[in-house]
A and B are shown apart, each in its own frame.
Chain A
Amino acid sequence: MIMNLLAGIDISKLLGLALRTSIGVQSAVFALAAVGLNLHYGYTGLLNFGVVAFMAAGAYGMAIFFTQGWLGGSILLAIAAGLVFAVGIALSIGLPSLRLRADYLAITTIAIAEVLRISFRSQRLLDLTGGPFGLPSIEDRNAEVSFSEIITVDWNPINDGIYGFWRLRFDEQTLWVMILGWTLVLLSTLLIWGLMRSPWGRVIKAIREDEDAARALGKNVFSYKLQSLIIGGMIASLAGVTRAMNTGFVETQQFKPQTTFFIWTVLILGGAASIWGPVIGAMAFWFIIIFVEELLRQMVDSGWVPEAVLASNDIASVRMIMMGVMLGVLMIWRPQGLVGKKEEAQIDVR
């Protein structure tokens, strides 16, 4: 009976695809954004529901700077421009709303993210952002060089070929972007680790616990919150930059609000306020999504699930339902996430 059940299921393909995605560029992108959100929410307690605004700022800032060929069209300068744009977003969110209660920040962040995305789409900015079409190939218009070509070909130290084993094989371009992405993840995680073990991190955590207590002890809460928003925002903007390196284009559909909630899922899944939580969370997120999707697909294809119950083109939505169910289950049995501290999660649960 069991053999029968497994007959239509290709386990090697199932695990292979899921694993492949969980170590892929997309996973690194989510991990980066979650590292930034972890500083905001996990450590500082800032309810940032506009993570995607920082990703968009990074990607578009870089892409616009590069396509316009400003300052000689250097890639590193373009990436720096993306970071500066993210700082600007952090300031424009933080200056008006960080003095107010936490929920106002939540509203402001979600609004700024949408304002930014819709502005990028507007016809008025067609020359700069490409409007609804985005920037299909990020290339310097004056020099006619493409951003992704420089990164994945010119700067690529890896020889042409296919690397890896089993189902985890990648060509030299994908592999190179993966290395870049995960290196950024590692560096930003180290940055957070270094900051959080310092007295600076102690103040940040105190603000999460009780702002007024921190104020009463002479800490400039507003300034620390702004610093946290800026640093986390810059890390999240690198997520946008990394995604642009991978896809070679930017468009506004990549920065819809749902991405923000995926990043939140990643953080909660992995464990907020833990150093490796965002990384583990991103890998687990993509593993689960792809595993469920592929399993359903194989079950439909092999006839275990009749077409009347679930058609192949519905699978993409079902996997999100499964994700929601899993997050709910996790909240009940493991509120600290996969690698969070159990004792911490149990405090304040009365």
Chain B
Amino acid sequence: MSDSAPLNSFPAEIGSSKPDPILTVDDMVRTFGGLRAVDINHLEVQRGIITAFIGPNGAGKTTLFNLITGFDKPDSGSWVFDDASIGGKAPHIIAQAGMVRTFQLTKSLAKMTVLDNMLLGASNQRGERLRYALVPTQWKKQERQVLEKAEDLLDRFNLAHMRDEYAATLSGGQRKLLEMARALMSEPRLILLDEPMAGVNPALVESLLQHIENLRDEGVSVLFIEHDMDVIMGISDWIVVLAEGRIIAEGTPSEVSKNPAVIDAYLGSSIAEELKDV
């Protein structure tokens, strides 16, 4: 647990205010035809902890991620990241502001090496500007620093032995690791992980969870999506439960797991689904 405010000090109710929110969302609505995919009045995400979005399939988790990070546009709504209003900004501007995301279906850059994937992640690179690109003396020094950081992260994520291989040769789990490590290259203040455990070999899940906890301990705020309840309970500090586009509950894992609305919407639906197969 981080050394910021004790979590039981903020109320486990929908839209509760947090002592030090890194992300605040207000009146966000996104409709697809007649479907209200996301409909949120107020949401605050506390700095320095691991927050999880959970909910059954179609609850609007990924849509909410897409909206927050600028990959999709809401019908209405505003959101503030670290005191800067980023509503309606382009995805790359939001990423540059310090909020970096990963994707549910990993986007490893297949025909680039693992190392190049990592180097790409670093922000504010001089050599990425056209006017300096042809003059290596302008960017060689920074490139060495970026390289050092990349090798360090590859070590931590157990990918160092793959550094010169094409990213396409990685296994599904390794790609998840690579994507997470690559996002960290830019030193984000908030990292959004979309189902980081989906499709990952169970043996790797443990180490992935460890990485996520390490991030928090280093001061990065983590927001992640998962629909596997068991995974979430152990690792999250705070849980936001979504169903049909709305937040139906918020709280610590133990509070949420006792919440009747959650049991009804989440566990209930999965039981109903299981019964269907019988």
Q: Are B95 and A216 in contact (CB under 8 A)?
A: yes
Chain B neighbourhood of A194, CB < 8 A: 133-134
Instruction: For B106, give the chain A residue with the smallest CB separation.
Output: A213
Chain B neighbourhood of A206, CB < 8 A: 109, 112, 120
Bound together, the chains give a CA A194 to CA B134 distance in angstroms of 6
Instruction: For A347, give the chain B residue with the smallest CB separation.
Output: B168
Q: Are B110 and A217 in contact (CB under 8 A)?
A: no
Instruction: For B182, give the chain A residue with the smallest CB separation.
Output: A217
Counting CB contacts under 8 A, is B227 at the interface?
no
Interface string of B18-34 (1 = CB under 8 A from A): 00000000000000000
Q: Are B127 and A217 in contact (CB under 8 A)?
A: no
Counting CB contacts under 8 A, is B143 at the interface?
yes
Q: Are A209 and B71 in contact (CB under 8 A)?
A: no
Instruction: For B121, give the chain A residue with the smallest CB separation.
Output: A217
Kindly provide the distance from the CB of A348 to the nearest chain B CB, expressed in whole angstroms: 6
Interface string of A199-225 (1 = CB under 8 A from B): 111110110111011111111110000
Counting CB contacts under 8 A, is A198 at the interface?
yes
Chain B neighbourhood of A348, CB < 8 A: 110-111, 168
Q: Are B134 and A215 in contact (CB under 8 A)?
A: no
Bound together, the chains give a CA A198 to CA B111 distance in angstroms of 17
Bound together, the chains give a CA A250 to CA B143 distance in angstroms of 46
Stretch at the interface among B7-15, B54-62, B77-85, B97-105: B97-105
Interface string of B105-140 (1 = CB under 8 A from A): 001111110001001110101111110111010010
Bound together, the chains give a CA A227 to CA B95 distance in angstroms of 21
Counting CB contacts under 8 A, is A195 at the interface?
yes
**Count the A-B residue pairs with Cβ separation under 8 angstroms: how many?**
108
Counting CB contacts under 8 A, is B69 at the interface?
yes
If the complex has contacts A198-B136, A221-B92, A347-B111, are A212 and B127 also in contact, measured as CB distance less than 8 A?
no
Counting CB contacts under 8 A, is A343 at the interface?
yes
Kindly provide the distance from the CB of B55 to the nearest chain A CB, expressed in whole angstroms: 22
Chain A neighbourhood of B166, CB < 8 A: 343-344, 347
Chain A neighbourhood of B136, CB < 8 A: 198
Q: Are B91 and A205 in contact (CB under 8 A)?
A: no
Instruction: For B129, give the chain A residue with the smallest CB separation.
Output: A200
Bound together, the chains give a CA A185 to CA B103 distance in angstroms of 41
Q: Are A198 and B127 in contact (CB under 8 A)?
A: yes
Kindly provide the distance from the CB of A43 to the nearest chain B CB, expressed in whole angstroms: 11
Across the interface, B92 reaches (CB within 8 A) one of A195, A210, A215, A273, namely A215
Bound together, the chains give a CA A205 to CA B128 distance in angstroms of 12
Kindly provide the distance from the CB of A128 to the nearest chain B CB, expressed in whole angstroms: 33
25 contacts between A and B (CB under 8 A): A195-B133, A198-B132, A198-B133, A199-B128, A200-B127, A200-B133, A202-B112, A205-B111, A206-B109, A209-B110, A209-B111, A213-B109, A214-B92, A216-B95, A216-B102, A216-B107, A216-B183, A217-B92, A217-B186, A218-B92, A218-B95, A218-B123, A227-B130, A347-B168, A348-B168
With A205-B109, A217-B185 given, can you name 4 additional A-B contacts, CB distance below 8 Å?
Answer: A198-B134, A208-B111, A217-B95, A344-B166
For the complex of A and B, 7 pairs with smallest distance between CB atoms = A199-B127, A218-B95, A200-B133, A209-B109, A213-B107, A198-B133, A215-B91
Footprint of A on B, CB under 8 Å?
69, 71, 90-93, 95-96, 100-103, 107-112, 116, 119-121, 123, 125-130, 132-134, 136, 139, 143, 166, 168, 182-183, 185-186
